[in-house]
Structure 1
């Protein structure tokens, strides 16, 4: 069973975690300040590579942003590449650099 959890410290920086049968399968390093969710890095544990877990993390990140009225600042190369490849899909939550 897969589940997600967001763990933030007192400075609102932390991780969006993907757990597969309670095993840490992947994570995104994030921070939330005001209405901006910044994503810095995406990582999938090697034993789970090739299973689409990075895409699952991205989907959960986007769902969270939309549900909480946040804009995503994609500093993570993976997330930024996905936003550039599918701009229409993410235009409502993509905080682009001016």
Structure 2
């Protein structure tokens, strides 16, 4: 994660994880059960394009999931690609996830 995002807090609402950067948002829509968090869609406001904000919200969310003790279901293609690029995060993916062997 780029240093400029490290101190920006991750906010969890009932539908998304998000960070705010200069009045603009990068977020991930999710669904949560007792044992799993499914990440559905990642998006950043156009003003944040190319800044690394989307990667920052993903990394902060993965840290949150790991700390919660839940397992990840990376349905979002961006999150899936992030984990392929950073395979150390595979440790929190639910082994029953359909694409687990492709990570």
TM-score range, shorter chain: 0.7 to 0.9
1:11 aligns with none
3-state SS of the aligned residue for 1:61? helix
| CA RMSD, Structure 1 to Structure 2 (Å) | 1.6
Q: Which runs of 5+ in 1 are unaligned?
A: 9-13
2:3 aligns with none
3-state SS of the aligned residue for 2:92? coil
| Runs of 4+ off more than 2 Å | 84-87
Matching of residue 64 in structure 1 with residue 68 in structure 2:
no
2:89 aligns with 90
3-state SS of the aligned residue for 1:91? helix
1:3 aligns with 9
The answer to whether the 8 Å contact 1:42/1:54 transfers is: yes
More strand by share: 1
3-state SS of the aligned residue for 1:2? coil
More helix by share: 2
Q: How far does residue 34 in structure 1 lie from its aligned partner after superposition?
A: 1.1
TM-score (norm 2): 0.80
TM-score (norm 1): 0.83
3-state SS of the aligned residue for 1:51? coil
The answer to whether the 8 Å contact 2:26/2:54 transfers is: yes
Distance 2:85 2:56 in 1: 17
Q: How far does residue 30 in structure 1 lie from its aligned partner after superposition?
A: 0.6
Q: How far does residue 3 in structure 1 lie from its aligned partner after superposition?
A: 2.5
